[in-house]
Amino acid sequence: MTLLALIFALALLTWGIVLLRTRPVLPAAVPAWLVITSFITSIVAGYFFWHRDIGPLPISIDRATLGIAGCVWAYGWLLGRYHLPRLVPLDGLVALWLAVIIFSTALTDYRFRENLPITRLLFFNLVPVATYVLLRISPLSRQHYRGLLWVLVFLGLYLGLTGVAEWRRWNALIFPRYIASPAFEEFYGRGRGPLLNPVINGMILSLCGTACLLLLPTARVRHRLVLLVAFGVIGLGVLSTLTRSCWIGFAGSTFLVCLAPLNWRQRFVVTLATGLVGVAGLAALSSQLNRFKRDEFVTAAEMSQSAALRPVLAAVAWEMIKEHPLSGVGFAQYNKYKKPYHQVEQYELPLQAGLPYMQHNVMLSYATEMGLLGLLAATAMWAGMAWRVYQLWNSPEPAFDQLCVALLLMTALLNYLVNGLFHDVSIITGANLSLLVAAAMTGRFTPQTAALPRATPQRSFAVPPQLRTES
């Protein structure tokens, strides 16, 4: 495999020399679309679909595509066609978050469990940040944002239909075939998608559902039916995950996007009515929501008992935080240090019952592994994303596509944090990546931060006249 890696590197070097000598002119948006292709490929045809060990690291289609995107951008930069954009505060917060993780990894046992910390650092943090950086520095015209939304719609159709097919056991309709294989036992029988995890499947489906809603105001009449059908399929896909946090995230982000075109009075009325209906629905269905069969190989009683583990894991986390408040036990070191804390006897909770499990909360996971420093770095990054949404939304006379990417980032952040309350999403494949891709899409806009005049009405999600379609 080392020889194969050497041959591959020599081939890249040869093609690089040819390109620099001939200097062909590529469309300016090629690197950005290659990055987007890498993101979509990581979901649909990523590591589980195909990978090969070339040298010390496994290579997959999405990683190769990301590498090609970096090479194309570097080629354009050498020719003077690309320039580094002006930094925004969110860039610094992402860099701080990554730096804390790198230092925590370097200062602890990074060879634990066959280099697990390095693997997590590389593929769950460094690759998403590299994707963020490449998408930030790659030029992308505003007319391409509409194309990106359509890509997300078709991705949502695929994931939604596949999730429903998994749930109903229509295995003949599922592709790739490994999704329907009981050899991957965890979450079998739920809409777990190509990434084999219902949580990230629901998070990405929520992004796709928001894309449907954002396209509706400017779509032609014949396309609106397609978008509504797609949104329905995406909703069924979220339902097929059989994951309550995904349902909450999808409902919450859909609700907020639907509120966007309304004024304050309309928002109040809709929120009040939705709240009353929601409370009534929860009261009627609470028993069913707390106890139902989800995984094929897990009973409904066992699924019901899983909720009782969260207080146990929270107690264990508190004990670990008290002993390691600032730096934690080290990045990806939770399994190495957790056992003594499950034997503490001062709690009435059965702490031993949670021993086989990881933390079920992303904030507690950061606090136990990297202490308050890691938690503050992650929280600062999330707050920076929320502030970015606020800035874009409240800019004087914002462009319509600017409002769209603001709502897209809001959806990604909301679903990340809602699911993060019940799962450690930082160790789920694609979770950090999807969040940082949505954040990078906002980087092409430079909102004015001057305060709006007092007489300025509340921002509404109004479609500009030039984008309205005739019925």
Give CA–CA dist 186/168, Å, rounded.
Answer: 17
- pLDDT for the residue 449: 41
- The per-residue pLDDT of the chain, averaged, comes to 86
Give CA–CA dist 263/352, Å, rounded.
Answer: 52
- pLDDT for the residue 52: 86
Q: Categorize the per-residue pLDDT at 35 as very low, low, confident or very high, splitting at 50, 70 and 90.
A: very high
Give CA–CA dist 157/163, Å, rounded.
Answer: 10
Report residue 261: phi and psi, to 5°.
-75, -5
Report residue 277: phi and psi, to 5°.
-65, -40
Pick the more confident residue, 286 or 128: 128
Q: How far is CA 341 from the centre of its chain?
A: 31
Give CA–CA dist 437/416, Å, rounded.
Answer: 13
- pLDDT for the residue 274: 87
pLDDT in tens, 43-102: 999 999 998 877 667 889 999 999 999 989 998 898 888 888 888 999 999 999 999 999
What would the DSSP string read from start to end of 395-437?
SSS--HHHHHHHHHHHHHHHHHHHHHTTS-GGGSTTHHHHHHH
pTM: 0.90
Cis amide bond preceding 176, omega within 30 = yes
pLDDT in tens, 93-112: 999 999 999 999 999 999 99
pLDDT in tens, 229-288: 999 999 999 999 999 999 999 999 999 999 988 888 888 898 899 888 887 877 766 665
